[in-house]
Amino acid sequence: MDITIMIVDDEEQMRVLVKTFLQNEGYSVVQAANGIEALSKIHKIAPDLILVDIMMPYMDGFTFAEEMKKIKDIPLIFLSAKGEEWDKVYGLRIGGDDYIVKPFHPDELLARIESVLRRAKIASLPATRFMFGPLILDIDSHTAMLDGQSLSLTLKEYELLHLLAKNKGKLFSREQLLHSIWGYGYTGSERTVDTHIKTLRLKLKGYSSLIQTIWGKGYKFEV
């Protein structure tokens, strides 16, 4: 994991606690005691995500967020003891991606971080690339990647996987899949679908459950 998170908080004890937790999870961590210090570091470091307190001296978290967005659009999560609805709404309106009220459980913070990073990754994908859980499909090149590793798929395997993934949760009968992928003129049996599903699952390895069997009905893709 090569992801850098910046913690902006005037409370040193809070920075140390969050830093220790994040480093144990494999993240690189940069600290800043206030918004002004954080802005000066962003030019040099460009973190992947920023955790910022709201009530700080010199420059509060809201002002920092507004100034930071003028420099670079970095995903941002507010961490604050202020739990009023107005503060949450305002924080999200000025560009915050999430808002967590102190005190919080470390597992909640980790889940929120993962969610924001995942949304940022999806938003940065080229228009022809789509993410379905751990799976990324490139429409133009007819290629697939799973957890960052390229999948070696035949054309029919790719088309079958793409059809199921882009219709996540939708149940397809064998007949529907056969007609959609092989065409109505295909004279083979529906067992062709079963064979391709089997090889797809083998190539998906630990993620074979992405393609689910609904006995007597067909298949569907579930993340």
With CA atoms as reference, report the closest residue to 55 among 100, 104, 10, 17: 10
Residue 67: predicted pLDDT: 92
Residue 126: predicted pLDDT: 65
Q: Which two tokens stand for residue 80?
A: 């604050």
Q: Which helix (H) or strand (E) holds 215?
A: none
CA distance 73 to 104: 26
Amino acid at the residue 176: Q
Report whether 14 contacts 54 (CB < 8 A): no
Residue 72: predicted pLDDT: 86
Q: List the chain pLDDT tens, one digit each, 223 residues.
A: 589 999 999 999 999 999 999 999 899 999 999 999 999 998 888 899 999 999 999 999 999 999 998 888 899 999 988 767 888 888 888 889 999 988 888 889 999 999 898 888 766 666 677 888 889 988 888 889 988 889 999 989 999 999 999 898 999 999 999 988 988 777 788 899 999 999 999 999 999 999 999 998 999 999 8
C-alpha Rg value of the chain to the nearest Å: 23
CA distance 106 to 214: 38
Q: Do strands 49-53 and 76-80 pair parallel, antiparallel, or not at all (unpaired)? A: parallel
Residue 103: predicted pLDDT: 86
Q: Which helix (H) or strand (E) holds 69?
A: helix 61-71
φ, ψ dihedrals at 189, nearest 5°: -95, 170
Residue 173: predicted pLDDT: 94
Residue 125: predicted pLDDT: 63
